[in-house]
Amino acid sequence: MTFRNLIEIHREQAQRLGPKPALRFRRFGVFSDLTWSEYREQSRACAAALLEAGIEPGDRVGLVSENRVEWLIADMGIMTAGAVNVPAHAGLPGSAVARQMADAGISWLIVSTAAQLAKACEIREAVPSLKGVVVFDRRAALSDVISWSAFLHRGRRALSRLGPELDRREKRLGPDDLATIMYTSGTTGHPKGVMLTHGNLVSNAEAMVELVPKDIDVVLLSWLPLSHIFARTCDHYLSLRNGILVVLSESLDAVPVDLLEVQPTHLHGVPRFWEKMLAAAQATPAPDKTLRAMFGRRIRWMMSGGAPLPPAVCQAYRQAGLPLSQGYGLTETAPVLTVNRPDRVRVESVGQPLPGVEIRIAPDGEILARGPNIMKGYWNQPTSTEAVLREGWFHTGDMGRLDDDGYLYITGRKKELIVLSNGKKVAPTEVEAILMREPAIEQVVVHGDKRNYLTALIVPNWTRVRQELPHRIESENELSTHPEVLAWFQQRIDALQAELSSWEQVKRFFLRPRPFSPETGEMTVSLKLRREVIFQKHADEWNQLYEAENSPHGSPAS
């Protein structure tokens, strides 16, 4: 069946599955269920309350919250009202959220906690037309802020009167109507509001339906931020389309425990997650057995996305009997463009195009895409839209190649291509992938544009380093400057780079004691490196590497 909008899917599943659990979440430390009927009823109550508040089709409603069951209900409620959900990452500072909400011109704002409510003050200043604020946590409600429970109560009282109008709005909601405006993470510049329609999101979920194993009772454990398109489509809307039970993990730290308690069949994650779980397993006497045990006895589908997955990591999982593979996409593509099928995985590839999606490589190596999942454009930015949507093709900004069987291989970002002073071109991600084969390297960033040679900032896996080089020194700050540690890393790096051309080799490096993270501003919420931020923060160290011509390692990080 082909659906015109996401609300049709929600209604159909609620009618079909009724009393079965749709969402499972922790409340006071214990898992509770929300049935499909309850999910639909609460979403319609939210929608009716929005109508009562004056929301018209196409109006924008902001949503600033961590992952929680109310996020999913609010998302469906906003769209049931015919409005457009504008979610912001919960970890962003108030000023950044305010800029996004002002750009989108929101009418109402829904937030989760007192901490998120504090950002509403900045948002109110940026958006004078903001009509009202709703907060999930009742204790955080103020005189001019409505609690979520009171908001739903308003909606339930109005449903008998406004129900027919909700039904009319659902029928009028077509594939070309906006469902959401999602602001990009901004690895290279200021975030842009990506306009995704109901048709974009429905088509992407539909294309994934036949690829995901579902011959058993499917349970998906969800922990990735729902404000990011990977979880939004692959955890939320794909599960909605397939009638899958979604179990919400409260945080990344809770995932290992939840995996064992929930015993999920399906799991999505980003490379950083898979790497950390693998590193923990490799620190045990039987790593393959440990790794398998970490994910429970029922796991059938594991997909990595959001950033490139090192082939060695993927291979380690598959060697342990775990079905990890990776896909590829962008916020602008709703997001999935390609994915490895469960029965034919190529670990160095991001897979083959989804049904209905076309991929081609431009003469300069850029990946171009076409299909029903391609965004409508950037909100209020026609020039930026025209720059990437040309002659029916979306220009991804990623570089890649296709093999004879249609598998896509990513070779780097077009804007990230390093051009050395001698004119040689290097894709930093390819060099970084080679260095990441070393288990003692947890993160790495290669630098060298317009320079004579490549340099790198390396974040070690300190557990592995201590296993290889026992030291009484506990401080990672001291270890990062220790001559023996530096010499050991140099030896490992030289061995990894033996087959690279001289200009592709990292000549100097320094070690950073602590990893990059979204909290430091050096990674996006999907755990992609924000290179320009990293380069700026460590400009002094990098300059010293290029000045220290006679030093074997350059100046270590402070």
**Residue spans in the chain of domains classed CATH 3.30.300.30:** 418-547
168: tokens are 């009319």
CA neighbours closer than 13 Å in the CB half-sphere of residue 476: 13
Alpha helices in 63-113 (DSSP H): 69-80, 94-104
Please give the CATH topology (third level) of the domain spanning 6-174: Rossmann fold (3.40.50)
Q: Using only the alpha carbons of the chain, give its radius of gyration.
A: 24
Can you give the pLDDT at residue 412? 83
Q: How far apart are CA 303 and CA 269, in angstroms?
A: 6
CA neighbours closer than 13 Å in the CB half-sphere of residue 316: 23
Can you give the pLDDT at residue 549? 44
| 246 three-state secondary structure | strand
Can you give the pLDDT at residue 419? 83
CATH number of 418-547: 3.30.300.30
Give 399's contacts (C-beta < 8 A, 6+ positions apart): 365, 366, 367, 410, 411, 412, 413, 414, 417, 427
Can you give the pLDDT at residue 84? 98
pLDDT profile of the chain (558 residues), mean per 10: 92 98 95 98 98 98 97 98 97 91 97 94 92 94 92 97 97 98 70 96 94 83 96 97 96 95 96 91 95 97 91 94 96 97 94 97 96 98 96 95 97 83 82 90 91 94 86 82 93 91 92 89 81 91 76 40
63: tokens are 């949503």
Give 196's contacts (C-beta < 8 A, 6+ positions apart): 178, 179, 180, 181, 182, 229, 331, 334, 375, 376
Give 230's contacts (C-beta < 8 A, 6+ positions apart): 224, 268, 270, 305, 306, 329, 335, 526
Element (H, E) at 331: none
43: tokens are 């979403």
Can you give the pLDDT at residue 548? 53
| 130 three-state secondary structure | coil
| 200 three-state secondary structure | helix
Q: How far apart are CA 552 and CA 449, in angstroms?
A: 21
Element (H, E) at 476: helix 476-479
Could you tell me how many residues make up the chain?
558
**Residue spans in the chain of domains classed CATH 3.40.50.12780:** 217-367+387-413
Q: What pLDDT, in 10s, does the model give residues 65-84?
A: 999 999 999 999 999 999 99
Model confidence, pTM: 0.85
249: tokens are 């993990």
**Residue spans in the chain of domains classed CATH 3.40.50.980:** 6-174
Q: How far apart are CA 305 and CA 309, in angstroms?
A: 8
Residue with tokens 């990059």: 516
Give 55's contacts (C-beta < 8 A, 6+ positions apart): 61, 81, 82, 83, 107, 108
Can you give the pLDDT at residue 503? 86
Can you give the pLDDT at residue 179? 98
Bridge partners, residue 409, by sequence: 401
441: tokens are 């390297």
User: Quick one: 290 exposed, middle or buried, by C-beta within 10 A (0-12, 13-18, 19+)?
Assistant: middle
Please give the CATH topology (third level) of the domain spanning 217-367+387-413: Rossmann fold (3.40.50)
Alpha helices in 173-319 (DSSP H): 198-209, 229-231, 238-242, 255-262, 271-282, 287-294, 311-319
